[in-house]
Amino acid sequence: MAEADSSDVEDGGMATHVLQEFLLGDVEVCGRELGVGSYSSVLEMKYKGMRCAGKKIHRSLYDQGAAVGPEILERYEKECELLSHLRHPCIVQFLGLYLDDGEDVPILMMEYLSCALSDCIDMHGVLASEISYTILHDVALGLRYLHDHAPPIIHRDLTANNILLSSSMRAKISDLGMAKILNLAPAQMTHRMTVCPGTISYMPPEALIAEPLYDTKLDCFSYGVLMLHMFCGEWPIALEYLQPDTTHPGRYVPLTEIERRDKYLRSIGHTHPLMPLIRRCLRNLPAERPGVAEILNELSTMVSRYPPVFGNHVEMLERMHHDEAEIDQLRLEVDQLRKLLHEKEHEVENLRFTTAGEIETLREQIVCLENSRVLQEAQVLELQSESKRMQLSVREMERELAEARSRIEQLSEELEAATSSAQEQGQESLTRLRRLQNELTSSSKEREAVLKKLAKGHLEATVKHVFKNTAADDLAKNYDEFFLNKADDIADQLKMAPGVSDFDAHQMVCDMVQQSYNHCRTVLAGGSQSSSGPSLPL
């Protein structure tokens, strides 16, 4: 006995990606082999003390190097997925998965059933009519559940090997490893699938061709072969599809499915109540075969003609078995709910821890937001106050601007008046300046004439004095002495005239004395002399 632990699943094993939520604990492998198939064996097991069956895939099919490993694993995985979603009294009840120590492929746990229909036929041959009809009725009920499923499910391997019987001889369909889900609309209930997906003797002709196209009528054909098997008491192995033509040697003629199984039909007898149904199920064309609803209707009629199998005792056993199955199912569901509840409690605890941190973070964020809101409100009030101040300032500036404009206009008028007055005054000043210039020019000429006259008088007096008292040879000497004594006096007298500077006076005296001197020398050199002296060229 071992507890299943998903952590024990190796990477790459099928349990890593198939229905880990269905892994069971408290499982005991009893070791007794209940049956062996082509790709799996069925072991007797116990789940929480309840007897059950476990389907274990052959290790040789999935060990490294096995060519068919992936295909078999895919079938096994498909069966697990299908059974986990199916709930019907005529479908073998799926309990869960168990992963044994050291294994990487889980064991499929199912309800325990006594034996397979094929084993019962092999041991007892043809069963009693009431038992056969009850079994066929149960199979039809399970088949209708599959075909009415959304989307429809084709079993594709409906044989006596895959019909399991309870102790009360009630039948349940098993081994859905070959089943196929039709993901198509009702108007398109045909689908290209695998060639010969199941047991060849149970397969219709459309499943034996390349790129087969078939639908739920495939199971209806297999159901007809199952009726042959039950009412003949042996496997209905069909003849070859082509048979020699007795009328034309060397030629072959094809046989219909009914002709290929004529031997078994004759052994049943044409008077058998279900012979018309069997023959219609074995039609070559799927459209000519009855649907599962029609099959179930005829089987219901046949079952109603017979008393219940094993009388009231069987009914009681059936009810007990049904109750036990319901109890087992409820136990499984309770365990799954407990597991789910534990997971949810763990999630809630994690969520509570996470939520507490998030709430604290949110509280801090709320405080920050509240502080930010208060700060923003204060800023808004400050901005409003500043806006009012700015509005008042703008109004004051507008008032000052208006006053400035008024002042500018006033100043402009004053400037214009001042400019006009200045222009008039400038014109008057210009006129007066010109008059003054004229007067100054006239005054300068008069002054120059006066100065020249004054200087001439002084110089003439000087020359007369020189000529009167000095010989010509001593002229220069006497002239210089006189000039040195009188020049400054003459210059002082000249400076007394308006507008004459010191420099101008001395320069004028020097120029006049030089001219006078030169003139005197010229006169003396020529021998011309008078008592009054020479006249000056000033």
Q: For residue 2, give the DSSP letter.
A: B
**Chain position carrying tokens 């000497």:** 477
Phi-psi region of 283 (alpha: psi -120 to 50; beta: other; left: phi over 0): beta
Q: Is beta strand 191-192 parallel, antiparallel or unpaired with respect to 115-116?
A: unpaired
Residue 118 contacts residue 145 (beta carbons within 8 Å): no
Q: How far apart are CA 390 and CA 375, in angstroms?
A: 22
Residue 74 contacts residue 84 (beta carbons within 8 Å): no
Residue 290 contacts residue 277 (beta carbons within 8 Å): yes
Q: Is the peptide bond before 197 cis (omega within 30 degrees of 0)?
A: no
Rg of the chain over all Cα atoms, to the nearest angstrom: 71
DSSP character string of 195-224: SS-S-GGG--GGGSSSS-EE-THHHHHHHH
Q: How far apart are CA 218 and CA 235, in angstroms?
A: 18
Structure tokens at 455: 């200087």
Give phi and psi for 171, each to the nearest 5. Answer: -100, 145
The annotation status of 46 as a binding-site residue, yes or no, is: no
Structure tokens at 481: 């002495």
Query: Is the alpha carbon torsion for 493, 498, 500, 501 positive or negative?
Result: positive
Angle between helices 502-526 and 475-495 (to 10 degrees): 150
Which amino acid is located at 211 in the chain? E
| Nearby residues of 451 by Cβ (< 8 Å), 6 or more positions away | 494, 497, 500, 508
Q: How far apart are CA 136 and CA 235, in angstroms?
A: 16
Annotated binding site for ATP: 55
Residues at the binding site are 55
